[in-house]
Chain A
Amino acid sequence: MNILEIKDLSKKYPSFELKNVNISLEEGYIMGFIGANGAGKTTTLKSMLNLVHKDTGEVCFFGMSMDQNERQVKHRIGFMFGDSVFYSKRKLKDITDVVQRFYDTWDNEMYQNLMEKFQLDPNKKLEQLSQGMKVKYSITLALSHQAELLILDEPTTGLDPVARDELLELFQELIEDGKRSILFSTHITSDLEKCADYITFIRDGEIVESSTKDDFLEQYRVVRGSKEQLKAVEHELVAYKTNSFGFNGLMRVEFFEKHPELDAAAPSIDDIMIYYAKAVK
């Protein structure tokens, strides 16, 4: 079953537009949501949760329409945004006390176990926690109300490599039983090379690609060739760079098949993002 299904979501601001966003995610998988700063990641996540109003489109969670079942749906989702500092001067135990009242599904034993596991001190104030600990606290709250879907906006930003690795390991642990899914945005693509099952790539408010990570990478080749060769293929490249030897560029695989004369390598997620950033629309 699709735990999340977004159809043709659009939202227009004076200077930015989210255009016909389509995303779906099955139960039991991790989806990485990537794109440059300002590409529309946070807006997409917030509009699917009705935290900002969408103009058109349909969002379904767990097979239920978000607009008609918002309360029910939100019980089963845990979300975290960088800017939603709840009460930074309050102690964790006081915040928890408020949060748990919203949920009939609150599991206090689970909560205690997770606080212990993550070594979170209930008497500390939220503002005293490191970035990594804040993310863990958010996850603790989400899991304690038995969320089946975690939506996290840039959870790894600001973490050192060790804390980031720990968090990604936790993500994989959380989906191991196949019952939960995680959707998280990031611009650190190494977060995704390993653990992500699906990748959704957004650029200027439009989804470029939303597929399994392997399919995503297999759709492109980084090609290189001489300046003469460039003339023949220029219009088929997403973008390219020239140097004194010739050129390097990104090409979709269906075009590449027509050009066995070009040298090609498999791209990294970074390669794809970087070439798209150079591409003229």
Chain B
Amino acid sequence: MKNIEVATTSKKPIYQQLFEQISSQIIRGELATDTLLPSIRTTAKELRISVITVKKAWDELEQKNFIYTIPGKGCFVSNLTKKDKAQMMEEQILTRLKTHLSYYKTLGLSKEDLIEYIDKYYENL
């Protein structure tokens, strides 16, 4: 498991930061199937965030099928097929695209304009 970083100064809620970092580690396969996640209370202590915040992130991971819980044992990484992972990745990309696209649309950019920007900057950013 890679290190997790949370910033209280970020506009993004902390549970959201946790959710995004762990879910992308699962999608990329850095967290293998059936890996035991650290307990909610230990994670809270180690990352210096509140227990409820971690609980919220773990709940969301479970609700979106990234992890499963065995009562009394803890939370484990779900067994995901390639297809599952691709679908989850698409969902996450979609969520981000929605906010980004609505911003670009307020600036009056067309699809072609955007593609031009992507061509210009993709390699360097």
Nearest-neighbour CB distance to chain B for A28, whole angstroms, equals 7
A contacts, CB < 8 Å to B = 28-30, 168-169, 172-173, 175-178, 193-198, 212-214, 265-266
Once bound together, how far apart are the Cα atoms of A173 and B49, in whole Å?
12
With both beta carbons as reference points, the residue of chain A lying nearest to B51 in the complex is identified as: A197
Interface of B is mostly: helix
Nearest-neighbour CB distance to chain B for A184, whole angstroms, equals 14
B18 at the interface (CB under 8 A from A): no
Contact B41 A214, beta carbon cutoff 8 Å: no
With both beta carbons as reference points, the residue of chain A lying nearest to B55 in the complex is identified as: A197
Enumerate chain B residues within 8 angstroms of A173, measured Cβ to Cβ.
45
Contact B42 A195, beta carbon cutoff 8 Å: no
Once bound together, how far apart are the Cα atoms of A168 and B71, in whole Å?
30
**Interface residue count for B (Cβ, 8 Å)?**
15
Stretch at the interface among B8-16, B19-27, B77-85, B97-105: B8-16
B contacts, CB < 8 Å to A = 8, 11, 13, 15, 41-42, 44-45, 48-53, 56
Contact A197 B50, beta carbon cutoff 8 Å: yes
* Number of A-B residue pairs having CB atoms within 8 Å of each other in the complex: 45
What are 17 pairs between A and B in contact, CB < 8 Å?
A28-B41, A29-B51, A30-B50, A30-B51, A168-B48, A172-B45, A172-B48, A173-B45, A176-B44, A177-B41, A178-B41, A193-B8, A195-B49, A195-B50, A212-B52, A213-B50, A214-B53
Enumerate chain A residues within 8 angstroms of B45, measured Cβ to Cβ.
169, 172-173, 176
Known: A172-B45, A176-B45, A178-B41. A266 touches B11 (CB 8 A): yes
Contact B48 A175, beta carbon cutoff 8 Å: no
For A194, give its contact among B11, B13, B15, B49 (CB under 8 Å).
B49
Once bound together, how far apart are the Cα atoms of A122 and B52, in whole Å?
38
Once bound together, how far apart are the Cα atoms of A214 and B18, in whole Å?
15
Contact B41 A196, beta carbon cutoff 8 Å: no
Once bound together, how far apart are the Cα atoms of A29 and B45, in whole Å?
12
Nearest-neighbour CB distance to chain B for A257, whole angstroms, equals 18
Nearest-neighbour CB distance to chain A for B117, whole angstroms, equals 25
Known: A193-B8, A194-B8, A214-B15. A176 touches B41 (CB 8 A): yes
Q: A29-B52, A178-B41 are in contact. List 7 more A-B contacts (CB 8 A).
A: A169-B45, A193-B8, A194-B49, A195-B48, A197-B50, A212-B52, A214-B52
Enumerate chain A residues within 8 angstroms of B15, measured Cβ to Cβ.
214
